[in-house]
A and B are shown apart, each in its own frame.
Chain A
Amino acid sequence: MRPLTEEETRVMFEKIAKYIGENLQLLVDRPDGTYCFRLHNDRVYYVSEKILKLAANISGDKLVSLGTCFGKFTKTHKFRLHITALDYLAPYAKYKVWIKPGAEQSFLYGNHVLKSGLGRITENTSQYQGVVVYSMADVPLVGSHSIIKTTRTLCLFET
């Protein structure tokens, strides 16, 4: 368990910033306490200071996880978001996509969302913009995705 290096931080922040933009700083600099990112087993955890101190008492090899896992670094040092980060990304998401109930299940099974399945979308959503997918009941769905707009199909690619 160690703090992220500057490069790692940058990679991760670039990824997260695709979805929440400048709201990223709200994650880093929280008014309600001190939170930090920790790397453990190639996974990035978003930990509060309190938990961090408590976790310091546990040897690294025995520690499975702490805080909230935001994602993991691949061997190629790319950053992949995990579903657990959705709770932190969804509130800050700048661009959102709402999917109709009919297409919801199809989407959850990994299929693309057709334009017909699109219930709502934040205006000015550009191509390849990272979005958080909501159901019509404002429930954030699996993962966050970048949007690819073709003539007929709106593809949400999980990043």
Chain B
Amino acid sequence: MSKKRRGEFSDFHSPAKKIIKVQKNEGSTAFLTMRSKPSSVMESPHLIQQVAQKTPHNSITPKSPNITDFDHQKFKNIFFQTSGLETTKNRNSISDDDIDSEDELRLMIAREENLEKTTWSANEFENDPFEVVRDDFKSDFHKFHTSIGLGLKNSVSCLNSENNVMENGCDSDSGDTDEIVAMKKSSGKIENGVDFSQREKSVDKKTYLKNRKKYDLSDGCVKEQKRKNKVEIALSHRVKPLSCKSLIESSSSEDAGSVSESTECEGDKEYNTLMGNCLRVNLTLADLEQLAGSNQEAPKEKTESNGQETTAKHDKASKSQRTPGDLRRGQQCIHPEEIVASLLEGGENPRGKQKPKENTLKPKFQAFKGVGCLYGKESVKKSLQESVASNNINKDQISLKLEEPRNMSMGKWSLCANGLSNEQTPFQHGKEANDANQIQPQKRQSFASQSHKVVSPNSSEKRNRNPISSLLPLKDKKSLSCGAKTPSRGLDEDCCHRTGQSGEGSERRPDLCSSQAPEKPPEVFSRRDSQGSKPDFPLPVNSSSDVNAKDKHAEDNQKRLAALEARQKAREVQKKLVHNALANLDGHPEDKPTHIIFGSNSESETEEISTREQSHPGEELVKESMGRASGKLFDSSDDEESCSEDDNNRFRIKPQFEGRAGQKLMNLQSHFGTDDRFRMDSRFLESDSEDEHEEINEKKTAEEEELAAEKLKALNVVQSVLQISLSNSTSKGSVAAKKFKDIIHYDPTRHDHATYERKQDDKPKESKAKRKKKREEAEKLPEVSKEMYYNIATDLKQIFQTVKDTSEKEDNTPWNEDSDGEKAEVVQDTPALMTRDEQTGGFTFSFFESDAKDEKEETYRVEAVKPGKIAWQGDPRFQDSSSEEEDVTEETDDKKQSPEEVSLPEKETTRFFFFSKNDERLHGSDLFWRGVGSNISRNSWEIRTNNLRMDCRKKHKDAKRRVKPK
């Protein structure tokens, strides 16, 4: 959706596309478009008028249409948003305006979230009349939030902003487009704040609120812009477009109503929202009325000039006939005459309530700005805001930006001021009343989102603080406050009034009005705006009607607050209850008496207790309970002993239940249950029962025998049928085997069970002894036959001397004699060497030549190696396991025997370099080498394979043949 919307946004550049989109939307959207278009057309004159009114000083009328166009576009966007399908786009577009300051807004968002929530909730309340829009907005917002992330929104908003700017530029026929753009930017900034708030709202998932907030914010922004614009109007045209925008917004709603009655419903809603805003304005107006009392003339003129527009709006509003209060407000505010009358009449009323405060506030005109600040953010930064306000007045755009932070601060203040809501001065009450109209819904929403208290008090407190503390920074703060807090309420109306007021000439007045004149600001304005008394007139008129509404609202607010307090108290009470209950669980003995503890012994105790209670119902109960608890917890030893005794008695084997008769008794007993009166004693044992049982058993056995006989017969038949010899015994045996017999538990103390013991043989001991012996034997070094030994000739030189020497040695044979001639072999070796040498005529060492000689000389002896030497026999230490003892011994025996058996006769064979001819060791290797006859074997192998193949095929075919006929 977001992408589509984005793409649509791209389309948005041209208003026609928007219209098309709107057309695409449902009839409502079409209406909206219709409204927007006609409203744009209508608005343009209205706007012009408004602008003219607002900016009489500044001939902004030409610019106003452009501004109106911007506003229309924005409103269209808003309407689209209301329509729902493209509303998101519109919103985006709105947000786009804000996009410029998105970064700032983002920063602000975090700050403002809380504040905005509160403030916006108030604003949202103001927007409540746009119920239809709400629904659409919800969906749209949901879509927005869901589909697009904040960044996406920002991007979309940027696109929208661009689109809007483009549209604005397109729309703006006059050359003031730059100003308009600037205005848009400023408004966009404000809107950005709104968007942020919206985003925050979206985060809160209060789509309705968000939508409303957006409206409110947009309105508020517009108002702020208007205010700023108003301020700027004096300074620059930009102020006018802003005011125009605000006017356009209001006018657009009004125009929509005027254009089509069908659309009037929506317009009425908008108007209602606007009226709600107006109500707030009225409150301020009421204050202003008082102030205006002095400056009635100028405001009257302004109101008159505005009156046309306002009247149209009021007419529409009257048509819509929203809440009576709104109608009153709207009507009062709208009609200049009525406003004047209301101001004259109602000004007194509000004065009675608010005059003192207003008076106090009036001197604090700047405080009005502060009031604006008070709405959300300024209260905290009143001084700063004041200074900023002064700067803002000069620098409307800057002020707009600043307003946002102010709004943030306002939100903070609102949070802080939550507790102060109760302490609201009448102004506050009036504000609250104004707020109440809008705030009540806001509160509702805020209830959903936040606590009622916080929201309502914030608004009220903010307002209070604003008038009180920030009276001085009036204008900017007012505008800010209007944008922030009250914008939602009467921003539209305020804008109208403001426009009118601005038209009247006092920029501050519109600011004050925009600040929603909630109470103090208008008053302050009235004082300061001695000339701006005219706008004050409509305000007082509104205020007169508003006073009642305010009172009602104040009452409602008080009721709400009371309800909230009651809820909190109830929660606290519940928490306390829970805490107490939990604490009681920990075991206060006092609490225990209330608990009835059922124990095994409880019956007797309870009986006793009941008797005691009867005697001493009150006092002993606790004691008993105490005793119970304590006794059960700690004194249970006695009870346990008794219990154990009882249990022992219970679980003793009762002789009367032994045997079959006993079983019968047992059954009887089970019928009676555990009633002591019917306990079956041994007296109830029937001596005859056993006989009866025997008889019964005999009968049964007889029947069984019959059946068994029958079975035998059947089995016999089965045997005959199956021609199988079935042994009944086997069958019975099988049955018996299948039956589960008692397992004999081996009892070593019983001599009978000696049969189950596995007798240990004495062999293992013997085997151990044998094994030890074997180990010793194995450990013993093999006896080396002393018959063979090697005599090493010390004089190798002589042996390997040159031939000559050998010849000489031959002559000198005696060296052989010198060596110990005890063993013949050694002696033989030396002569052999001698002989070689002699034959070769010199010593030459060669493996091959020596063959013939050595073969005869040395013999290879094949001997079985003694087992003890063989490594693989394993370490005797590993033979410890008793189970293997016997086996090991056997093995060892075998091994011992083996050497004897294996002792092969020594074969003398010719020796060829470690191997002798026909060496037994090489017999096995025939498999690994192939002699010269390999070709023969290959041929034979091929022949064989062919024969085998033929045979296999034959057999396969035969098998197939056999299978086929079958």
> Secondary structure of the A side of the interface?
helix
Q: Cβ of A31 and Cβ of B738 under 8 Å apart?
A: yes
Residue B722 CB within 8 A of the other chain: yes
What residues on A are CB-neighbors of B704 within 8 Å? 34
- Per the bound structure, the CA–CA distance linking A34 and B721 in Å amounts to 21
- Interface residue A67 (Cβ < 8 Å from any Cβ of B): no
CB of B707 closer than 8 Å to a CB of A = yes
Q: When chains A and B are docked, how far (Å) is the Cα of A31 from the Cα of B730?
A: 12
Q: Which of B19-69 contact A (CB under 8 A)?
A: none
Contact bitstring B698-714, A, C-beta under 8 A = 1, else 0 = 00000110011011011
Evaluate contact between B713 and A9: CB separation under 8 angstroms: yes
Contact between B715 and A49, CB atoms less than 8 A apart: no
Answer yes or no: A66 CB below 8 A from chain B CBs: no
- With a cutoff of 8 Å between Cβ atoms, the chain A residues found around residue B722 in the complex are 17, 21-22, 24-25
B11 to chain A, nearest CB (A): 62
A132: shortest Cβ distance to chain B, in Å? 18
Q: How far is the CB of B636 from chain A (nearest CB, A)?
A: 50
CB of A92 within 8 A of chain B?
Answer: no
Chain B CB within 8 A of A95 CB: no
Asked if B862 is at the interface of the complex by the 8 Å CB criterion, the answer is no
Would you give the 0/1 interface string for B735-748, flagging 1 where the beta carbon is closer than 8 Å to chain A? 10010000000000
Question: Bound state CA distance, A24 and B738, in angstroms?
Answer: 19
Residues of chain A lying within 8 A (CB to CB) of residue B707: 34, 36, 49
Q: Which residues from B are CB-within-8-Å of A37?
A: 714
Is B717 an interface position by the 8 A CB rule?
yes
A1-50: which residues lie under 8 A (CB-CB) from chain B? 3, 6, 9-10, 13-14, 17, 21-22, 24-25, 28-29, 31, 34, 36-37, 49
Q: B854 to nearest A CB, angstroms?
A: 73
Total residues of chain B contacting the partner, CB 8 A: 20
Contact A29 B738 (CB under 8 A): no
B735 and A31 contact, CB distance less than 8 A: yes
Q: With A3-B710, A25-B726, A37-B714 in contact, is A10–B721 under 8 Å at CB?
A: yes
Give the distance in Å from the alpha carbon of A21 to the alpha carbon of B714 in the complex: 15
Question: Do the beta carbons of B711 and A13 come within 8 Å of each other?
Answer: no
Chain B contacts for A21, CB-based, 8 A: 722
Q: How far is the CB of B794 from chain A (nearest CB, A)?
A: 88
Chain A residues positioned under 8 Å from B718 (CB to CB): 13, 17, 24-25, 28
**In whole Å, how far is B137's beta carbon from the nearest beta carbon of chain A?**
60
CB-CB nearest in chain A for B706: A3
Cα A24 to Cα B731 in complex, Å, equals 13
Inside 8 A of A10's CB, which chain B residues have their CB? 717, 720-721
Q: In the assembled complex, which residues on chain B have CB atoms less than 8 Å from the CB atom of A6?
A: 713, 717
Contact B721 A29 (CB under 8 A): no
> Closest residue to A29 on the B side, CB-wise?
B731
Residues of A near B792 (CB, < 8 A) are none
CB-defined interface of B778-804 with A at 8 Å, one 1/0 digit per residue? 000000000000000000000000000
**B594 interfacial by beta-carbon distance below 8 Å:** no
With A3-B710, A34-B707, A49-B707 as given contacts, are A28 and B724 in contact (CB-CB < 8 Å)?
Answer: no
Total chain A interface residues with beta-carbon distance under 8 A: 19
Which of chain B's residues has its CB closest to A9's CB? B717
Asked if B734 is at the interface of the complex by the 8 Å CB criterion, the answer is yes
Q: Which of chain B's residues have a CB closer than 8 A to the CB of A25?
A: 715, 718, 722, 726, 731
Write the nearest CB–CB distance from A25 to chain B, whole angstroms.
5
Q: Which residues of B contact A24 (CB under 8 A)?
A: 718, 721-722
Nearest CB of chain A from residue B740's CB, rounded to whole Å: 11
Closest to B720 in A: A10
Closest-by-CB residue of A relative to B708 is: A34
Q: Complex Cα distance A33/B382, Å?
A: 101
Min CB distance A11 to B, Å, is 9
* Per-residue interface assignment for chain A, residues 108 to 124, with 1 indicating a CB less than 8 Å from any chain B CB and 0 otherwise: 00000000000000000
Least Cβ–Cβ distance between B730 and chain A, in angstroms: 10
List of B residues within 8 angstroms of A29 by Cβ: 711, 715, 731, 735
By the criterion CB–CB under 8 Å, are B711 and A9 in contact? no
- Once the chains bind, are A13 and B735 in contact (CB under 8 Å)? no
Given A3-B710, A49-B707, A28 and B715 contact (CB-CB distance below 8 Å): yes
Instruction: Using CB atoms, name the residue of chain B closest to A15.
Output: B721
Residues of A close to B720: CB separation below 8 A: 10
Bound-state Cα–Cα, A91 to B798, Å: 100
Cβ of A17 to closest chain B Cβ, rounded Å: 5
Question: Hey, which chain B residues are within 8 Å of A14, CB to CB?
Answer: 721
Whose C-beta in chain A lies nearest to the C-beta of B709? A3
* Chain B proximity of A57: nearest CB distance (Å): 14
| Min distance, Cβ B918 to any Cβ of chain A, angstroms | 59
CB proximity of A78 to chain B, nearest CB, Å: 15
Distance in Å: Cβ of B23 to nearest Cβ of chain A:
61
Q: Give complex CA distance A53, B714 in Å.
A: 19
From residue B735, how far is it (CB to closest CB) to chain A in Å?
Answer: 5
CA–CA, A28 to B731, complex, Å?
A: 10
A48-74: which residues lie under 8 A (CB-CB) from chain B? 49, 53
Which of B708, B721, B734 is within 8 Å of A31, CB to CB? Answer: B734
Query: How far is B763's CA from A114's CA once the two chains are assembled, in angstroms?
Result: 71
A13–B707 CA distance with the chains assembled, in angstroms: 18
Task: Kindly list chain A residues whose C-beta atoms are within 8 Å of the C-beta of B703.
Answer: 53
- Complex formed: what's the CA distance from A29 to B729 in Å? 12
Are A9 and B734 in touch, CB under 8 angstroms? no
- Bound-state CA distance A9–B724 (Å) is 16
**CB–CB A13/B721 < 8 A:** yes
Quick one: closest B residue to A10, CB to CB? B717
B724: A residues at CB distance < 8 A: 22
| Chain B residues with CB under 8 A of A28 | 711, 714-715, 718
Q: Across the two chains, which residue of chain B brings its CB closest to A23? A: B722
Kindly state the separation between the CA atoms of A31 and B739 in the bound complex, as whole angstroms. Answer: 8
B692–chain A nearest beta-carbon distance, Å: 18
Closest to B735 in A: A31
List of B residues within 8 angstroms of A36 by Cβ? 707, 710-711, 714
Residues in A with CB closer than 8 Å to B738 are: 31
Residue of A nearest to B737 (CB): A31
Closest to B734 in A: A31
With CB as the reference atom, state the residue of chain A lying closest to B726. A25
CA–CA, A94 to B166, complex, Å? 92
Q: In whole angstroms, what is the CA distance A74 to B517 when docked? A: 113
Interface centre among B703, B715, B718 (most CB of A within 10 A): B718
By a CB distance below 8 angstroms, the chain B residues around A31 are 734-735, 738
Q: How far is the CB of A120 from chain B (nearest CB, A)?
A: 20
**Would you give the shortest CB distance from B966 to chain A, in whole angstroms?**
11
- Residues of chain B lying within 8 A (CB to CB) of residue A22: 722, 724
A-B contact pairs, 12 of them (CB 8 A): A9-B714, A13-B717, A13-B721, A25-B718, A25-B722, A28-B714, A31-B734, A34-B704, A34-B707, A36-B710, A36-B714, A49-B707
Given contacts A13-B714, A31-B735, 16 further A-B contacts (CB under 8 A): A6-B717, A9-B714, A10-B720, A10-B721, A25-B715, A25-B726, A25-B731, A28-B715, A29-B731, A31-B734, A34-B707, A34-B711, A36-B707, A36-B711, A36-B714, A37-B714
**Interface of B with A (CB < 8 Å)?**
703-704, 707-708, 710-711, 713-715, 717-718, 720-722, 724, 726, 731, 734-735, 738
Closest 5 CB pairs of A and B: A13-B721, A9-B717, A28-B714, A29-B731, A31-B738
